[in-house]
Structure 1
Amino acid sequence: MNEHAGVVRLVRHDPGTGRRDEVAGVLKAMAEAARDAPGCFGAQVATSDRDGETLVLISRWESAEAMNHFGDDPGFASLRDQLKESVSKQPDVEVLTTA
């Protein structure tokens, strides 16, 4: 099995005022769910040196298809919906692919 991620997804979340811990908890649940998904090589929540308040959900995938299949999962969609009221703006999504 190829153990190199073909796709890396970075999603930056800006928590609403006083909601950082809440957002971090939901993102950690998302990362845990992703780690169990077929084609996921790992997922974690991190902070950025650019902005200490922003939380970044990082996931590494075998392929775009595996990533998209997980994104369509109802359990993941439910977690994503929980974030809508807790963030100050739409998440910034960046998808990196192997060159």
Structure 2
Amino acid sequence: MNDHAGVLRIARHQPADGRRDEVAGLLRAVAESMRDAPGCFGAQVTSSDRKEEQLILVSRWQSLEAMDKYNAQPEFAGFQREIMSSLTSAPDVEILTTA
């Protein structure tokens, strides 16, 4: 079994005006949930020096299958519905895999 992440999921979130703290709290909660998921090597909420208001959820996964299994859970779908009202647009999600 690999002891390193083969998949990185980078999800950029643009909070609506005055909603940054709310979005950060929601993202921290989902990051904590991800950390307990099978195949997840870690998750954290970050900010960028390029877009100061943007919040980024970075998660590291053993495989695409492990990530997809987590993303298919009803709790994750509920999180996605809940956070959308606090964002200006849908998150920009990028998946990186080991070359």
Please indicate the TM-score interval, normalised by the length of the shorter structure. over 0.9
The aligned residue for residue 5 of structure 1 is 5
Could you tell me which residue of structure 1 aligns to residue 82 of structure 2?
82
**Residue equivalent to 2:39:** 39
Quote the residue 1:21 is aligned against: 21
Q: Write the letter of the residue equivalent to 2:33.
A: A
Query: Which aligned runs of 4 or more in structure 1 are off by greater than 6 angstroms?
Result: none
Runs (5+) with no aligned partner, structure 1: none
Counterpart CA distance in 2 for 1:63 and 1:78 is: 23
1:23-50 per-residue CA deviation (whole Å, 9 max, x = no partner) reads 0000001100100000000000000111
What is the rounded CA distance, in whole Å, between the counterparts of 1:65 and 1:3 in structure 2? 16
Unaligned runs of 5+ in 2: none
Superposition TM-score, scaled by structure 2 size: 0.97
Task: State the match for 2:65 in structure 1.
Answer: 65
Counterparts of 1:82 and 1:90, CA distance in 2: 12
For residues 80 and 52 of structure 1, the distance between their equivalents in structure 2, rounded to whole angstroms, comes to 22
Quick one: percent identity of the two aligned structures? 59
RMSD: 0.7
Q: CA deviation at 1:77?
A: 1.3
Per-residue CA distance 1:70-98 (angstroms, 9 max, x = gap): 00011111111111100001110000000
